[in-house]
């Protein structure tokens, strides 16, 4: 468990940037405050989430990763801004990486390849490569575990859920919940549903976070959320499902027949059939 905790801590290394630029956000252990100028501080279960006033454009981030400032320049900048060279030269925190990198990461390929070797192989990647994971990689790993267990006749999801590296994935989601796009959170619920991994705290926290982003949800996101919760027989609350139904009704024509049927069945399974945006066996108007 100590190593799993250190994996999470690895995401917090870049507290400040030594080149005199302000970092958009980072994960930082509560005992190690950043001395840079902060616009906002919010408490997370294991980390303090820091957000500063200025955001770097993606291109500048790429240049910073490819050509870090010289140690002398860092040392000169550090006293004036309270930044450290050690922090500036460490691995970029997930939130500092451009979205392009999150969607096209070589780790996704490694996770996909590990699926055929079983959930143990996927979780081994979490152990050895987890400190490099972006938010996208965390969800990919969760989905890979679900797929690997589903295709392995000898797999017990109950045992997998108790594995410390599966729990590390859950902790990474909980610690950085506000930085995961709503679509990725919906995929996380869908993956838990497919795997039969009933992590109630995670499911409830995702439900709370999703309530802030209902207008951003598309048909696939709504379907992932509703069917995932239904598969686990878990509901964070009727208000969430009322909100999802209202959002679905504004996009009725964009849902496939399969999505409509799955959503209707999910509402019925949870005892919310009267609230479903779709009726079983009927097309929407």
CA 283 – CA 252 distance, rounded (Å) = 9
CA 28 – CA 8 distance, rounded (Å) = 10
pLDDT value, residue 147: 95
Asked if 119 and 149 count as a contact pair (C-beta separation under 8 A), the reply is yes
Residue of 96 and 29 predicted with greater confidence: 96
Q: Where are the domains of the chain?
A: 12-93, 98-180, 198-285
pLDDT value, residue 9: 53
Q: What is the CB neighbour count within 10 angstroms for residue 274?
A: 7
pLDDT value, residue 239: 96
Mean pLDDT of 85-96: 47
pLDDT value, residue 5: 57
Place 12 in a pLDDT band, splitting at 50, 70 and 90.
very low
Q: What is the CB neighbour count within 10 angstroms for residue 37?
A: 12
Residue of 18 and 256 predicted with greater confidence: 256
Element spanning 266, H or E? helix 257-269
Residue tagged 């995961």 (tokens) = 180
List pLDDT tens digits, range 180-227.
Answer: 999 999 999 999 999 899 899 999 999 999 999 999 999 999 999 999
pLDDT value, residue 85: 41
Asked if 19 and 96 count as a contact pair (C-beta separation under 8 A), the reply is no
CA 13 – CA 68 distance, rounded (Å) = 15
Reported pTM: 0.66
List pLDDT tens digits, range 165-175.
Answer: 999 999 999 99
Eight-class DSSP state of 275: G
CA 168 – CA 115 distance, rounded (Å) = 18
CA 64 – CA 168 distance, rounded (Å) = 29
Express as a percent the part of the chain with pLDDT over 90: 55
Residues in CB range of 67: below 8 A, 6 or more apart:
none
pLDDT value, residue 56: 27
List pLDDT tens digits, range 17-61.
Answer: 333 333 333 333 333 333 333 333 333 333 333 322 233 233 433
List pLDDT tens digits, range 229-243.
Answer: 999 999 999 999 999
pLDDT value, residue 3: 59
DSSP H helical segments within 37-180, as ranges?
58-66, 71-81, 85-89, 99-103, 106-115, 119-129, 135-150, 157-162, 164-175
Return the closest-CA partner of residue 148 out of 156, 168, 103: 156
**Is pLDDT of 83 > 60?**
no
pLDDT value, residue 203: 96
């Amino acid at each position: 468990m100590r190593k799993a905790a250190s994996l999470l801590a690895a995401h917090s290394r870049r507290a400040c940037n030594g080149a005199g630029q302000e970092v958009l956000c980072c994960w930082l252990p509560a005992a190690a405050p950043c001395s840079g100028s902060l616009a906002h501080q919010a408490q997370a279960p294991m980390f303090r989430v820091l957000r500063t006033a200025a955001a770097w454009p993606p291109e500048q981030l790429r240049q910073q990763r490819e050509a870090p400032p010289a140690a002398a320049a860092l040392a000169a900048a550090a006293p004036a801004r309270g930044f450290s060279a050690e922090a500036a030269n460490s691995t970029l925190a997930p939130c500092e990486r451009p979205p392009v990198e999150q969607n096209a990461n070589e780790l996704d390929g490694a996770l996909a390849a590990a699926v055929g070797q079983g959930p143990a192989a996927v979780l081994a990647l979490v152990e050895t490569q987890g400190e490099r994971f972006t938010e996208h990689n965390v969800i990919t790993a969760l989905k890979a575990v679900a797929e690997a267990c589903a295709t392995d006749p000898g797999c017990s999801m109950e045992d997998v859920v108790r594995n410390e590296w599966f729990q590390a994935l859950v902790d990474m989601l909980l610690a950085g919940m506000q930085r995961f796009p709503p679509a990725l959170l919906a995929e996380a619920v869908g993956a838990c549903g497919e795997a039969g991994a009933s992590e109630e705290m995670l499911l409830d926290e995702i439900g709370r976070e999703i309530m802030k982003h209902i207008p951003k949800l598309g048909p696939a996101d709504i379907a992932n959320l509703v069917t995932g919760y239904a598969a686990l027989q878990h509901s964070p609350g009727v208000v969430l499902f009322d909100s999802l139904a209202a959002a679905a009704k504004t996009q009725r024509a964009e849902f496939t027949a399969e999505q409509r049927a799955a959503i209707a069945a999910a509402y019925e399974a949870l005892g919310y059939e009267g609230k479903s945006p779709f009726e079983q066996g009927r097309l929407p108007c």
